[in-house]
Structures are given as C-alpha cells and as structure tokens.
Chains A and B, each alone.
Chain A
Amino acid sequence: MCTNIVETAPIAGWGKGADGWFELRLVSVSFDHPMHAPLEHAINIDFTNVAKGLSARVAVELTPDAAKELIRVIQATLERGNAEGVTA
C-alpha cells in the first residue's frame, strides 16, 4: 500500500466471484495503485468475505470520475426507490 488512503465498512449483500455467489461482509475502498487498471492510482473497491477465504472477493478498479458517477447513480437509484416506497 502506497498512499494509505483506504476506507472500510461492514456490508451486507451478495457478490459473484470466481466460484459463484457468496455473502459479502466487508467493503474496502482505496485510492492507491490498482492491480490491473492502466492507471497510477485508481479507486479500488473490494467486496470480500475473508471467512470464506481470500479469493472470496469481487473487485473493481475505477477512474476517479467513474467512481463519482457510481456514487451519483447509486444515490439517484436509492432516492427513486425511496420515493416509490421500494424496500429490501
């Protein structure tokens, strides 16, 4: 880790990894060197469940602009759902 810019939070949900669907326990968001994206720094998001092993991971590496768009569309979706009374 190079920048030390990382935030984590417990999370509830399901993700599809290399071995199929699994329950998610943690989200980790870092602004650091990506593992795959051809960028010096990226917004790296990992959804994990270490109780199921280190490979229980769904990963994305986004440009900062893409990360802002993701925030915007999630927020917009939640607001529409709330307005229409949609619940989990």
Chain B
Amino acid sequence: MPYTTEKYEGMIAETMTIQGHKRDTIHAYIARPLGLGPFPGLALVTHGLGWTEWYKEFARKFAHHGYVAILPDILCRVGHGTPEDVLAKSRAEGGLPDDQVVGDMAAAGTYLRSLPYLNGKVGILGSCSGGRHTYLTACRTQGVFDAAVDCWGGSVVQSRERLTPAQPVSPVEYTKDLSCPLLGLFGEDDQNPAPAQVAIHEQELKKYNKQYEFYSYKGAGHGFFYYHLPMYRHEQAMDAWKKLWAFLEKHLDAPKYA
C-alpha cells in the first residue's frame, strides 16, 4: 500500500556488531522500520569510498521504504578513524580480500534471516566495488540471498592485469553459480564497467540461463545515484530507482513503492 500522510512511521538506525567472516566481530549499521513486520531484508555492500555517511543514509532510505537494511563495516579490520583515513590505509594494503568480504556479506544475510520480524526474503545490493562484491557474494553463496542488485560494479569482468592476491578471480568466472535473480544498473559512459564489459557479463548470464535484468543509461557514467557528486544524473537515477523498487518488490515480497 502506498504511504499516506495519516500513517505512523518510525525507524531505528544504529551501529551494532555481527559475527562476520571467520566469526570475526565486525561493526554493522542497521536501519529498520519500527513495528512487528514482517519486513524484507537487504544487505548493503559499501562502495569503494568506504563505510561512509552516504551509505548509511542509503540504508535509512531502504528502512523508510519498509526494509531491514544492514550495512556491514567490511573495512572494520583495517582499523578505525575517519572513513577517508581508513580507506587510505586499506588502499595502501592492496584492498580487501574477496574471501573476507564474501564471508562478511554472507554473515550479514544469515543474520537478517535470523531476525523475528523478517518476511523470509533477503536481498543483497552494492554499488561500485560493492556491486562487484554483491555479484561475487551472490555467486559464492547458496540459499542466503533471494535477489541481488549490482549498481555499476566495476571489474565484475576483471582483466588479468587487474587481478591481485586479494582479488585472485574475475567474478564473472563464477556466473554458473549465481544463486538468485540479478538486477544490473549501469551508465553507458562508465569506464569501469565499460559497456563492452557489461556485454560480456550479459553473455555469460545468458549462457547459463540466469534470471537477470540489465539497464544501461545513456548520458550517465559511474555512480549516477550519488547526488552529492558531479556524476549524479537526475533523470537516469530516478528511472533506475523505479526499476530497483520494482525488482525488489517482485523478488523480496517488498512493500509496493509509492
């Protein structure tokens, strides 16, 4: 039912801890509507700029729309400081290991499933490097996620030159194991993923008969949702949000977006 102004609404959003990869205790930001639910769950994978204010606001947006959103601090083991300082250290160390991020996100999904107010459905969504991690996690876990959203994930089709000890396998190699329907949102002017990489990814999805929807927007590049940055594209972002809500409603039994 669409929201109308006479209705009560409220949410709780706070930092808590979960047991992540290898049962390490890591921070997570969780935002959910007040009430008994049942609510769909959504695990968010932070973008390449770290555990930022923007991403926490993103989590609250989903809570506003009726989701239990969890945003693990996948950089928690790097140390603590301003998000910029933490990211600088992580970059200097060669970035986060894929195995660790997949472990953290799988743990976040499992945590959501344990909540008494969940509707039994859990999605995973990330942008930029978080889009790549979303795809990896959706491929390398089974039975945890019911839907995945890759927002302009760079290096899903990862060239040999860009493989590192922390990221030893191109995510597209795991496509046959993709465990849930996938939504991809891309900008045609993006350098990473470039349209040619998105096309290769799509070919692989077709090859393995995977359920997916890809939308590539003209006049948009990387990060076109980020309204605080010059890359924001209003028209494309608004249409992509509609596609996103429709996808989540379909696969997570989510409340209809108004």
Contact = CB atoms under 8 A, between A and B. Distances in A.
Interface of A: 1-6, 8, 26, 28, 30, 32-33, 35, 38, 40-41, 44, 46, 48, 50, 53-55, 57, 59
A26 B167 CA distance: 23
B43 interface: no
Nearest to A30: B91
A54 B91 contact: no
Interface stretch (B81-89, B208-216, B238-246): B81-89
A65 B229 CA distance: 21
Contacts of A32: 48, 91
A60 B49 CA distance: 15
Interface string B38-56: 0000000000110000000
Interface in B154-205: 154-155, 162, 164, 167, 191-192
Interface residues of B, number: 33
Q: Which 3 A-B pairs have the closest CB atoms?
A: A54-B81, A28-B92, A54-B85
23 contacts: A1-B48, A1-B96, A1-B129, A2-B128, A2-B154, A2-B192, A3-B162, A3-B192, A6-B91, A26-B92, A28-B91, A33-B49, A38-B230, A40-B222, A40-B223, A44-B91, A48-B89, A48-B92, A54-B81, A54-B82, A54-B85, A54-B88, A55-B81
A50 B89 contact: yes
B129 A57 contact: no
A50 B80 CA distance: 11
A39 B82 CA distance: 21
Given A35-B49, A55-B82, 6 more contacts: A32-B91, A38-B229, A38-B230, A44-B91, A53-B81, A54-B80
A2 B91 CA distance: 10
Contacts of A57: 85, 88
A41 B154 CA distance: 13
Contact of A46 (B91, B155, B191): B91
A55 B80 CA distance: 9
Nearest to B222: A40
A8 B89 CA distance: 11
A49 to B, nearest CB: 11
Contacts of B16: none
B92 A46 contact: yes
Interface string B55-97: 0000000000000000000000001111011111111101110
Contacts of A2: 48, 128-129, 154-155, 192
B33 interface: no
A40 B231 contact: yes
B123 interface: no
A25 B49 CA distance: 23
B128 A8 contact: no
Given A32-B48, A33-B128, A57-B88, A4 B229 contact: no
